Structure 1
């Protein structure tokens, strides 16, 4: 059995702090499958729709799922608001066994 997993890389940010490397993009450019950092957690974008009302500020409605625990979140952003798109690396792991500590992969 092979398991694919997503890992965020630790790289220095421009501010000098260590953390996950992220690129700021405007909310209207989010697409299904993008991985974003929001409130300090990683989310995968399930759906992103832009709304342009006749009067008022255009918004982007984004449905996301938190990677760590699978909680689904709906968030509304102003179309020009910046969101951090995370740099992630996709790795393959081989399942070894399960015990009282959890699942073990190599």
Structure 2
């Protein structure tokens, strides 16, 4: 009866799903699997060859999560077996984070969910 209205409702539902998908994941990350003598580099873009714009210590915490390039949601990731999680994390997932007032991209395989931060 109202094909235009139906299109709007469908598009609204799809857009809302996309917004919620981007909101998946923790509010904050912490650095993992970086050796104590090394750092996690922050990059200007989500590729390892881009300019290094900052560094995070091996035990860094309170990295504000600004979104990741992962193709699956955090909820889907949590349902994977530990082996599947490792394989998925190693697939060059990049996450945009804020740390010490610097915003940049880090390799997601070196991140795990962090606790509450201020």
- TM, length-normalised to structure 2: 0.33
Higher strand share: 1
**Structure number with higher helix proportion:** 2
Relative to the length of structure 1, the TM-score reads: 0.36
